[in-house]
Amino acid sequence: MDLEFLQSMDVQILAGVAVAVLAVVVTAAAFLFSSKKSKGCLDPENFKEFKLVKRQQLSHNVAKFTFELPTPTSVLGLPIGQHISCRGMDSQGEEVIKPYTPTTLDSDVGYFELVIKMYPQGRMSHHFREMRVGDSLAVKGPKGRFKYQPGQVRAFGMIAGGSGITPMFQVARAILENPKDMTNVHLIYANVTYDDILLKDELDSLAAKYPGRFNVYYVLNQPPEVWNGGVGFVSKEMIQTHCPAPAQDIQILRCGPPPMNKAMAAHIEALGYSPEMQFQF
């Protein structure tokens, strides 16, 4: 009887030890996984090299560049609405550094993408124009003043011009693809011609997938003959019609060429939006 009792005690002790060891292993694995998951590939102080694995020409002067991260499960680690600094060489062989916003999020693992408009005289444009698959890009980050927490505002109004669409697209995607974030997004996107519109398929796809939550209004300076969007420059009336009205729980974001940003700041102020309701990338 005593022997049976001792044997049963041994079994119970061994089972308890096994459960305890398993709990420690699971906890350690979870901690390790969460640590790895939350740790991005970026370094805010030092440039790191990322290899170009795909280049897709979208138009005569726009291309999508896909860069490989160290492992298939790596994330870039870029907070929503922030950007990276990219380093390259201009046509004279001089170093140039310029900020860019990836169109991918940390839900896109193993790679990140940049949609780049290459201007004839652009110094960094030259570097991207010359890049070929297998080349590496020097990147540092995260950079930027924009901080976003899901649900921090009821709605965003966004006013973008040209390549200024990239931070807007990144923020809109992050909001809409988060099932816990009910923020509405109203975008006005201005360009010179129809062919200048970046990410149009992706924007239209978001509008179709999230009706009522994401609206996009295109404005063209030189529209085609058949066009149902805005014409000319973005006006106060367009902002009034397509952006949320001034309120404490909304924010107007803007990103575009300096002359456009200046004009939009004047429009927004005239419409009664306080400084707290505005942010310029």
Of the listed ranges 20-24, 87-91, 101-105, 132-136, the least confidently predicted one is: 20-24
* From 66, 86, 101, 186, the catalytic residue: 101
At residue 191, the pLDDT reads 96
**Cα 173–chain centre separation:** 7
Other residues' Cβ atoms within 10 Å of the Cβ of residue 177: 13
Segment among 12-21, 42-51, 55-64, 202-211 with least mean pLDDT: 12-21
Grade residue 59 by pLDDT with cuts at 50, 70 and 90: confident
Tokens linked to 139? 């990147």
| Averaged pLDDT of the chain | 89
φ and ψ at 198, to 5 degrees?
Answer: -90, 145
Of 43, 255, 258, nearest to 159 (Cα)?
Answer: 255
Cα angle vertex 102, ends 240, 169, to 5°?
Answer: 25
To the nearest 10°, report the CA torsion of 216, 217, 223, 227: 90
| C-beta of residue 17 within 8 angstroms of C-beta of residue 57 | no
- What integer pLDDT is reported at residue 11 of this predicted model? 44
192-207: b or e for each residue (b if 16 or more CB lie within 10 Å)? eeeebbbbbeebeebb
Place of tokens 């979208």: 58
CB-CB neighbours of 238 under 10 Å: 19
d(CA 259, CA 277) in angstroms, rounded, equals: 20
Q: How far apart are CA 233 and CA 256, in angstroms?
A: 12
> By C-alpha distance, which of 171, 231, 218 is closest to 190?
218
- Which of 71, 87, 86 lies closest to 37 in space, CA to CA? 71
Residue 255 annotated in active site: yes
Angle (CA) 75-166-66 rounded to 5° is 45
Catalytic site includes residue 83: yes
Provide the residue count of the chain: 281
Given this model, what pLDDT does residue 134 score? 98
Which of 66, 86, 100, 218 does the annotation list as catalytic? 100
The token duo for 249 is 């729980």
Please tell me which residue in 183, 255, 267, 273 is annotated as part of the active site: 255
- 4-8, 106-110, 184-188: the lowest-pLDDT one: 4-8
242's tokens: 């397509």
**Separation of alpha carbons 93 and 139, rounded Å:** 18
Mean pLDDT of 24-36: 39
- Residue 206's pLDDT band, with cuts at 50, 70 and 90, is very high
Output DSSP code: residue 240: H
100 catalytic, yes or no?
A: yes
| Of 83, 127, 242, 267, catalytic | 83
